Structure 1
Amino acid sequence: MRLDGTWLDTPDTLVRAVTDLGGGSWVLTPLRTDAGFTVLVNRGFVPGDRRAPVARAGGARAAVAGLLRLDEPGGAFLRANDPGADTWYSRDVAAIARARGLPEPVAPYFVDAERRPGSDPDRDLGAGLPVGGLTVIRFHNNHLIYAITWYALAMMVAGGALYLDRDAWRRGRAA
């Protein structure tokens, strides 16, 4: 999707993350769209040793293209978000919006910004932070489970047919 709007002059939210580039944080920044609602934009990844605020101009115009992602409420495995300590383990849009006092309405989703054209994540760790476009999309491959299910169903049908055939054969002999 594509969003046009203005970056809000509020602190970025750093959400702990592990990527192919190592451990660090996602940088979530609120964008007030031209349509009048606020969206959290995941501008990209910063390494753990570079958690200082990432340069951006609050109030500056922006055009963001990226993937719409669903809210991740609650926290991560065995870790809960702690808004009071500004410690985030999941991208919980509603909790971040409350903690930052974002203007209503706030979209119930966030957008993962795409990688800047011509950027290289390995090279950009030096200066071009945050590194966008690291979204991983994986679809479950359950083909083995499907094969086992259909094989079991076929065996049950074959067993039922043999049972009925055997019963019919017994009746034929008794008559």
Structure 2
Amino acid sequence: MSRADTRPSPSALRSLIAPGIAALVCLAILLGLGLWQLARKGEKEALIARIVERSRAEPPAAPPAFDAWNPGADEFRRVRATGTFLHNKEALVHGLAPGEPGRALQGFYVLTPLKRDDGSIILVNRGLVPTELKDPKSRAAGQVTGETTVTGMLRGSEVRTLFVPESDPARDQWYTRDIAAITAARGLTNVAPYLIEADATENPGGWPRGGNLRVDLPNNHLQYAFTWFGIAACLVGVFSVFAWRRLHDPVEPDAP
């Protein structure tokens, strides 16, 4: 009576070459993605630190010259500007803001042009008003007249994402804080390529309510890195079981 040969056969070894190469390529890609996410984590942490430092600067700086605006260096910088609000040119942008714990306040962001002494204009996001206060007459106390000073953070135009409706200037329906489109619809010239997100300084009557900008950017890169490394570990485990079975399957001796 003959016994099955349990030694790996040359054909079994050869059959692992192609799967082994494919597994090594996939493993290298997965490990590379994991290491890339770790590098991105460091970059994001450095960016958050810079943003937080800019947002807390004291005293607030003057807004940059319009032709010197550099989003990478200037965005989220804390600034102070003085001028007169053009309330008749304000635009209402659909939005949400943190309200009571676990709830969001739905309404409109009030974007009002601030005309400075030199005639230049900076769009100011004064904050959110609830839907029932959409009409300026219902929040007349907050329509500040005369020269006023605004403190806040610089932002560029808001980029529309996939799930945000497109604004309709003809119907005066705005869903993003699009500086160029809003100021063009209002017939304004000599306008800054940035806007000021007003801080939480209370307006007369309590509305609009500013201070809604958050500078704590999401940083999930460590989680993503663990995901890629976990998939890599699964790949090693699966291939190891596959290879062990392929090499240890009994090989029947050739018939006499």
Q: Does 1:111 align with 2:189?
A: no
Q: Which residue of 2 aligns with 1:27?
A: 110
Bigger share in helix: 2
Flag the structure with more relative contact order, 1 or 2, with Cα contacts below 8 A and sequence separation at least 6. 2
Checking the alignment, whether the CA contact within 8 Å between 1:76 and 1:90 is kept in structure 2 is no
Which residue, out of 35, 39, 48, partners 2:122? 39
Q: Deviations over 1:13-38 (max 9, x none)?
A: 10000111211000000011235421
Matched-pair identity in %? 38
Instruction: Give the TM-score of the pair, scaled to structure 2.
Output: 0.50
Q: Which residue of 1 aligns with 2:92?
A: 14
Partner Cα distance (2:92, 2:152) in 1: 19
Q: Which residue of 2 aligns with 1:82?
A: 168
Which residue, out of 145, 158, 173, partners 2:224? 145
Q: Which 5+ residue runs of structure 1 have no aligned equivalent? A: 156-175
Deviation at 1:85, TM superposition (A): 0.5
Deviation at 1:113, TM superposition (A): 0.6
Aligned residues: 144
**1:49-128 maps to which residues of 2 (within 5 A)?**
49-53=132-136, 54-55=139-140, 56-57=143-144, 60-74=146-160, 77-102=163-188, 104-116=189-201, 127-128=205-206
> What amino acid sits opposite 1:49 in the alignment?
E
Q: Which residue of 2 aligns with 1:167?
A: none
Q: Which 5+ residue runs of structure 2 have no aligned equivalent? A: 1-78, 100-104, 234-256
Q: Which residue of 2 aligns with 1:133?
A: 211
Instruction: Give the TM-score of the pair, scaled to structure 1.
Output: 0.71
Q: Deviations over 1:52-76 (max 9, x none)?
A: 1143245x21110001111025577
SS of the aligned residue for 1:79 comes to: coil
Q: Deviations over 1:68-104 (max 9, x none)?
A: 11102557724110011010000000000110011x2
Deviation at 1:8, TM superposition (A): 2.3
SS of the aligned residue for 1:45 comes to: strand
Against the structure 1 CA distance between its residues 143 and 5, is the aligned structure 2 distance closer, same or farther, given a 3 Å change threshold? same
RMSD: 2.6
> What amino acid sits opposite 1:61 in the alignment?
E
